[in-house]
Structure 1
Amino acid sequence: MDIKTLHDADFCNLAIAKTAFDTLSTAFGGHVENWQHEVVDRLHNSQWSGTAADHATTRIQNLHDELHAAQQEIALISRALQDAGEGFAAAQAHLISALDDAKAQGLTVAADGTITWDNNPDSATYLGDGPQKAQQIRDRITAAVTEADHADRTISSRLAHLTTNASNGTGLDATVATNDTAAANALSQIPDTGTDPNAVAAWWNSLTDEQQHRMVLNHPAQIGNLDGIPATGRDQANRINLARARTDLQHQLDGLGPEPDAVTGTPYGAVESPMHKLWKQQHDDLTEKLGGIDAIDKRLNTQVDAAHPPAYLLGFDTDGKGHAIVAINNPDTADNVSTYVPGTGARLGKVDGDIDRSDKMVAAANAANSKRTTSSISWIGYDAPQKLLSEASDDQYAKDAEDKLHGFEVGLHATHNGNISNNTILGHSYGTTTIGYTMKDKGLPVDNVVLIASPGAGVDTAKDLHIDPSHVYAAQSQADMIGMAAAMDPGGAADNAWDNLRADFGFDDGDHHLIHGRQTTTPQFGATVLPTNPDGGHSDYWNDGSPTLAAMGQVIAGK
């Protein structure tokens, strides 16, 4: 496929051929129905019996099945022609749009794709930024031609298969026709949530660009949150989800009406009004979620420059406390990919701080190695505990997140252009517990694990994470109060008591168990300990100038 061929192509004949096959399929279907009434039904209703009757009945029924299979195959040709026409038309429209923009910008595009412009500084039509504009147009033209090539290969493969079935009689087999129909239907059926991301990626790649575009527009909630869909597709879908959610949440907020009286009188004095309590809970939840949407929208639409790489919305919903997955730089094309899992309190309404941390980690990785691109993803894709005392001590939140985190990480590999050279999973606080449980129970396809301020990763040693222990890193400041979250389970508490007793006699070996497992910075755990600011608190590891932030950048950058 070349520019001239795509530009000049007339796809009317495809539409005419599709209509012809529709007519053929309808007429053929009429004959099959007539055969059913005039032959099959009459035979079944006759009183003919015996061996000859049984043979005749079987043969006639087989013939009916073959006719029905042939009708299905004819209908599939019509569907293939329709899909091809839509795919080619979309590619042609994208090409014409690029050529029109090129002309408006003072660029001339030759039939072979060569782009020229006025490069004379003394000329009235001099185009100083010609190289940049030409590259943008060139990329769009290449994308349009590639889109047409994909549509061409797809239609050729489908028609060749159906033609072979027709020529050798395979298409008369009911099982073959059923399988072919199922394969065609699968092109428009979105895989269920939890489907192997590699299978999702294969399904997505089997669609033409036009079909993918329709999926994004018609099913954004499913496409935007499905592991195995490329980052660009998920981002397009989730921007639609984001706008719709803002409208819906604002409508709910407006529907709450004015604030009720805060107190109500009782025989025992004034107490908070139940109506006010419910109103305030709903008001605060809606307001906070709208704030989270605003923060995401602001980052997505920040002008891209050296300090502000492009952002992609890889997941979004407002269920419960809300979820969001935001990537800084495209993880499908980056050399280094890091997924950051926040801990207690993580939710949609607090996403701005997590996005800021991803921005800082990309900058730290760039400082460590500027020759390789890095994507950092803030993954609020699970229901994190929200209360420090009553919820953060429960490991069920981590267990419930295992399938989601595992699917997301597998999906990053399924959609990446080539192999990810360096893949890191990084958690803070309860996020490290979530990571630890997932790695212990399911494993994760990552090269490095970074555990920041961990209350325990659900394992006793780094090797229990099913990764080379030399690629497990941990950090915890001396001033971080997470170190006070002592173990409550009998085994961990007994170990701590024994360790304390040994310390009294000068034999302290530094071992210590926290609420979700052995402290990750102890020698017995076996991780490489990263530097910290000894005076830093639980949330200070990403502060400007933090030695931990610089070390995180080194790990993420593969240094």
Structure 2
Amino acid sequence: MRRFTRTLVTAAVAVAAVVGTAGWASGDSQRAVTGPPPGADAWRADTEGGRPLPDPAAASPGEVARFFAALDEGAQRRLLHRHPLVVGNLDGAPLPLRYEANRLAVAATGEARYASLAAPDRQVLAFDPRGRGQVAEVFGDLAHAAHVSVVVPGSDNDASRHDDRRREGTGPAGMARSLRTAAGGGTAVIAWTGYTTPVGVGLDAADGRLAKAGAVRLARFTAGLDAVGAPDPVLFCHSYGSVVCGLAARDTDATDVVVLGSPGMRAGSAAALHTGARVWAARGPSDWIADVPHVEFAGIGHGADPASPAFGARRVPAADVQGHTGYFASGTRSLAAFAAIAKGELR
């Protein structure tokens, strides 16, 4: 009875911390964007050379890759120009085709907030304008990289804030650029703002609803990398992004899952993630995430602290990290360790 009472008290404290402060109350509830992008119905109704096109919602990335491999360049480009939003988001489609399709799709929105993504030097691997917008961008040569990393960001990120030039090494694109610079030329890094993130620190950030939807998208995205011959990735998961990675881990072929500033992974231990990947955790001394109760009750909270010894993750040095977003800052021990993990040098 006493143990049950302690559990209820802990849960009550966690819920109060989530819903009872001005900070948590500032969050706005978000509707998860899921499924194939706009234009999927027109794509399904189309054919190429008399052949039906793979259903964006049902075809596996491997099936998509085989479909495009059977087409000549002319047929591929016809599909690109007829259906840029679909081709640009179709996991398993050839990389150069997706880059070009997304330049067209971004330009077609006519929105100034996305304009920079259409520049010729940007390698946008996915772009979905629905809701607040989702985007995935490649830094480096993904087609020939010996090592691939995927940065999975947390709250308040979307297509318009993907690369808004915050402090160095912050934001999805900033983190990816910093890691790519530290890891060197043989590594490609993808900034994956590919799910609907929470806004602020309201209930969306405290429950797993958006993370569950994001985990499905992340697992399919990594399957798409595999379908085009990319190396198995390392996942770098920041803040709420670590909740997404925790739920997706068993369904990806990641070699390593690295969480930083994590509120929890919806698992009681690294072993409970049921992944063959090595699991790493970093938390700086001034990161406010340490004050978040690491419990889960009635769907609220994300469970055990990945940075605690009991969780069983490998520790990443982070004693010189400043705040919640400083993990990719140049010169930090955490960034040096991240680069070594990305290159397979730290095991």
Normalising by structure 1, report the TM-score.
0.50
One-letter amino acid matched to 1:354: P
1:478 aligned partner: 285
Q: Report the counterpart of residue 463 of structure 1 in structure 2.
A: 271
Give yes or no for contact 1:231–1:312 (8 Å, CA) kept in 2. Answer: no
Count of aligned pairs between the two proteins: 292
Q: Which has the higher contact order (CA 8 A, sep 6+)?
A: 2
Matches of 2:282 and 2:115, distance apart in 1: 32
Q: CA deviation at 1:425?
A: 1.2
What is aligned with 1:185?
50
**1:356 corresponding residue in structure 2:** 174
Find the residue that maps to 1:427 and give its secondary structure: strand
Q: 1:295-374 alignment to 2 at 5 Å?
A: 295-297=116-118, 300-301=120-121, 311-352=122-163, 353-366=171-184, 373-374=186-187
Q: Aligned to 1:398, which of 172, 190, 211?
A: 211
Return the match for 1:547 from 333, 339, 345: 333
Q: Which residue of 2 aligns with 1:77?
A: none
Alignment of 1:118-517 (within 5 A): 185-186=50-51, 189-245=53-109, 247=110, 249=111, 290-291=112-113, 293-297=114-118, 300-301=120-121, 311-352=122-163, 353-366=171-184, 373-416=186-229, 420=231, 423-440=233-250, 443-468=251-276, 471-487=278-294, 489-490=296-297, 515-517=301-303
Identity in percent: 28
Q: TM-score, normalised by structure 2?
A: 0.79
How far apart in 2 are the matches of 1:468 and 1:528?
A: 14
Deviation at 1:489, TM superposition (A): 3.2
Partner Cα distance (2:58, 2:218) in 1: 11
Cα distance in 2 for partners of 1:209, 1:490 equals: 54
Task: Provide the rounded CA distance (Å) in 2 between the counterparts of 1:360 and 1:446.
Answer: 21
Which structure's CA Rg is the greater one? 1
Q: How much has 1:472 moved relative to structure 2?
A: 1.1
**Where does 1:24-173 land on structure 2 (aligned, <5 Å)?**
none
SS at match of 1:518: coil
Supply the distance in 1 between the matched residues of 2:202 and 2:83 (Cα, whole angstroms). Answer: 40
Instruction: Report SS of the residue matched to 1:236.
Output: helix
Q: Distance in 2 between matches of 1:361 and 1:489?
A: 32
1:262 corresponds to which residue? none
Tell me the SS of whatever aligns to 2:90. Answer: coil
Tell me the secondary structure at the aligned position of residue 392 of structure 1.
helix
Match of 2:5 in 1: none
Q: Which has the higher helix share?
A: 1
CA RMSD of aligned residues (A): 2.2
1:446 to partner: Cα distance: 1.1
- What are the Cα deviations for residues 118-158 of structure 1, in whole angstroms up to 9, with x where unaligned? xxxxxxxxxxxxxxxxxxxxxxxxxxxxxxxxxxxxxxxxx
The one-letter code of the counterpart of 1:427 is: C
Q: Distance in 1 between matches of 2:134 and 2:314?
A: 32
Match of 1:532 among 311, 315, 318: 318
Structure 1 unmatched runs, 5+ = 1-181, 250-289, 302-310, 493-513
Whether the 8 Å CA contact 1:332–1:412 is kept in 2: the answer is: no
* Alignment deviations for residues 348-374 of structure 1 (CA, whole Å, 9 cap, x no partner): 1111132121111111111xxx6xx11
CA deviation profile, 1:3-57 (whole Å, cap 9, x unmatched) = xxxxxxxxxxxxxxxxxxxxxxxxxxxxxxxxxxxxxxxxxxxxxxxxxxxxxxx
Contact kept, 8 Å, 1:312 with 1:330, in 2: the verdict is: no
